[in-house]
Amino acid sequence: MSNQKIFEASPEAKGKAKQLRIFAFLAWIAAIAGQIFAIAKLISNETMVWLIVAIAVILALAITGSTLWKKANRLDPASEKDPTRFFIQNQLGAIMGVLAFLPLVVLIFMNKDLDGKTKGIAGSIAVVAMMAAGITGVDFEPPSVEKYTKEITEQTDALKEITNSDNVYWTSAGTKYHIDEDCSHIKGRDQISNGTVKQSWESKGISELCKSCQKRALKRKNSVIKEAVGM
């Protein structure tokens, strides 16, 4: 087993993650602003339809924020060595999703001026939306520096077993790294980066080996073995 190559997000990846987190917060702020507006203007029997529309908009904003936040975490993950930060960073989407609805849900059911029908319909929709925002925001497989480090080490070892090298290629738009620069999936691309498995992860956030390249490399290795034993 080779020495572990500790994952560290590249400056480019950190910059993109920061940008995604800013957009995520803007989406969450807009969702909370929508909630405040709904509380102030729309909790009444006469505006139930508009209240439901507002709930749908708030839900869309909350989910958008959570999606962007998760993408940022995969580019620049937290370390498991700090459990509190690790939990908050990875589950902030769920926390913000609930906060985007909880006061609204409470005030709908606590409002004495609403009739039972309005409370039942609007309240139920708000509760379902809050649950959807919360569950969507949960990261059930949170990324971490330690997890990336382990996977990078394992992938590097596996690559060396079939190529005797830790040299790969990748593109800015791709999600996989390649053994061969002339792989059909990247051949002819304007920008093809070259480096180690670790470098591909650090620049892309997360990646995996191209299956086509893996098959070609295994075929080459098997051919070499057959020649060596005289088959």
As averages over each run of 10 residues, the pLDDT of the chain (231 residues) reads 74 94 98 97 94 97 98 95 97 98 96 93 97 97 94 91 91 89 88 90 81 92 78 54
| Structural domain count of the chain | 2
Instruction: Give me the pLDDT at residue 1, please.
Output: 43
150 and 96 in a common domain: no
Is 2 inside any structural domain?
A: no
pTM value is: 0.85
For residues 97 and 165, membership in a common domain is answered with no
Please give the pLDDT value at position 214: 92
Nearest CA to 215 among 184, 190, 189, 194? 184
Domain boundary residue, one of 110, 137, 164: 137
pLDDT at 26: 98
Domain end marker among 114, 137, 160 = 137
Q: How far is CA 28 from CA 21, 63, 124, 137, in A?
A: 10, 9, 22, 12
Residues 153 and 1: beta-carbon distance below 8 Å: yes
Q: Which pLDDT belongs to residue 224?
A: 81
Give the Cα separation of 181 and 167 in Å (integer). Answer: 10
> Would you state the pLDDT for residue 131?
98
For residue 168, what are the domain limits?
A: 146-228
